[in-house]
Amino acid sequence: MVKLRLKRCGRKQRAVYRIVALDVRSRREGQDLGKVGFYDPKQGQAYLNVPFILYFLEQGAQPTKIVHDISKKGYREGKELQVNY
């Protein structure tokens, strides 16, 4: 099973997260199947590649609660999307 979840990047005390498609059995920092966006909680910004997200959802991927909330706030039909919180 594939999940859309957050992968931590950035430096100490300055976390930035990539939104990636990962196999459920892999670790948080494991090999991802594809990068579908990023989320910066400090600046309140998110970048979503909507066609790529829709592709993985059509293939049966399940988003985690946080990724679902991020995508729900900024979802519009279209290409890439930049969301400011």
List, run by run, the mean pLDDT of 10-residue segments along the chain (85 residues): 91 92 81 88 86 90 91 59 57
Domain 2-77: top CATH class: alpha beta
Q: Would you say 34 and 21 are in contact if contact means Cβ atoms under 8 Å apart? A: yes
The span from the first CA to the last CA of the chain, in angstroms, equals: 30
pLDDT of residue 79: 46
pLDDT of residue 74: 63
- Buried-state track 59-83, b at ≥16 Cβ within 10 A, e below 16: eebebeeebeebbeebeeeeeebeb
Closest-CA residue to 34 (of 16, 65, 57): 57
pLDDT of residue 84: 55
Would you kindly state where each structural domain of the chain is located, as residue ranges?
2-77
Query: For residue 69, what is the enclosing H or E element?
Result: helix 65-74
pLDDT of residue 77: 43
pLDDT of residue 17: 93
